[in-house]
Chains A and B, each alone.
Chain A
Amino acid sequence: GDSVTQMEGPVTLSEEAFLTINCTYTATGYPSLFWYVQYPGEGLQLLLKATKADDKGSNKGFEATYRKETTSFHLEKGSVQVSDSAVYFCALSDADSGYALNFGKGTSLLVTP
């Protein structure tokens, strides 16, 4: 079945550092891919998405490109801020799963001043 694998956290970075959170997936169909962010005590917020190969999703300085050849959707940001400290989830959905979101385990990011 479908699955999503994310790099283990926690990730600790200094403010203005470059961020990469790796995400790879396994799917039998043609999934849509998502990054969600969860701040402490809150629900999930959609950060960005991509629905087909080579699509690039972007939002708030974050970017991720749908790479079918490497089955990856890595999240990047050029310069992180303290306010980016949160847990980041990679997810996919496709017809085979009835479009339910299938999440990775999450990567905790801590940005220090």
Chain B
Amino acid sequence: KAGVTQTPRYLIKTRGQQVTLSCSPISGHRSVSWYQQTPGQGLQFLFEYFSETQRNKGNFPGRFSGRQFSNSRSEMNVSTLELGDSALYLCASIPGTQGGEQFFGPGTRLTVL
């Protein structure tokens, strides 16, 4: 079974721009979560999508948004980028049952200049 795919793996943007990151979960998994990893704040939960609906949301500003498509693929978008948005963005694939294992992708490294 193929693992979690995240594209692109690396991205460089400038302040004020917006960015879209993509995540394809493991085949058959219906839920996707997103996390931000920074040296200062560690790993923080962004949001979770299940069957195209946001099921849970972390404490991030409205500049961070996401969506999920009918094939379970998910995208997250960050608008009006700030230097502090530089981070590794990790996507996790979840079979569907809440509280179960989460399988992580390799992440997208975003650098904001």
Residues of chain A having any CB pair with chain B under 8 Å: 32, 36, 42-46, 49, 51, 89, 91, 93-95, 97-106
Q: Identify which of B6, B58, B98 gathers the most chain A CB atoms within 10 Å of its CB.
A: B98
A51 to B99, CA, bound (A): 9
A89 in contact with B43 (CB, 8 Å)? yes
CB proximity of B3 to chain A, nearest CB, Å? 9
Known interface pairs A98-B48, A100-B33; A46-B102 also in contact (CB < 8 Å): yes
Q: Identify which of B90, B98, B102 gathers the most chain A CB atoms within 10 Å of its CB.
A: B102
B43 in contact with A45 (CB, 8 Å)? no
A44 to B55, CA, bound (A): 22
A105 in contact with B48 (CB, 8 Å)? no
Indicate if B103 sits at the interface (CB-CB under 8 A): yes
Give how many B residues have a beta carbon under 8 Å from the other chain's beta carbons. 22
Known interface pairs A43-B106, A100-B33; A95-B42 also in contact (CB < 8 Å): no
A42 to B56, CA, bound (A): 25
Q: Which residues of B87-103 are within 8 A (CB) of A?
A: 90, 92, 98-99, 101-103
Known interface pairs A94-B99, A99-B98, A100-B56; A43-B48 also in contact (CB < 8 Å): no
Indicate if B35 sits at the interface (CB-CB under 8 A): yes
Contacts of A102 in B (CB 8 A): 45
Task: With CB as the reference atom, state the residue of chain A lying closest to B91.
Answer: A43
B16-53 vs A, Cβ < 8 Å mask (1 yes, 0 no): 00000000000000000101000000110100100000
B99 in contact with A32 (CB, 8 Å)? yes
Indicate if B66 sits at the interface (CB-CB under 8 A): no
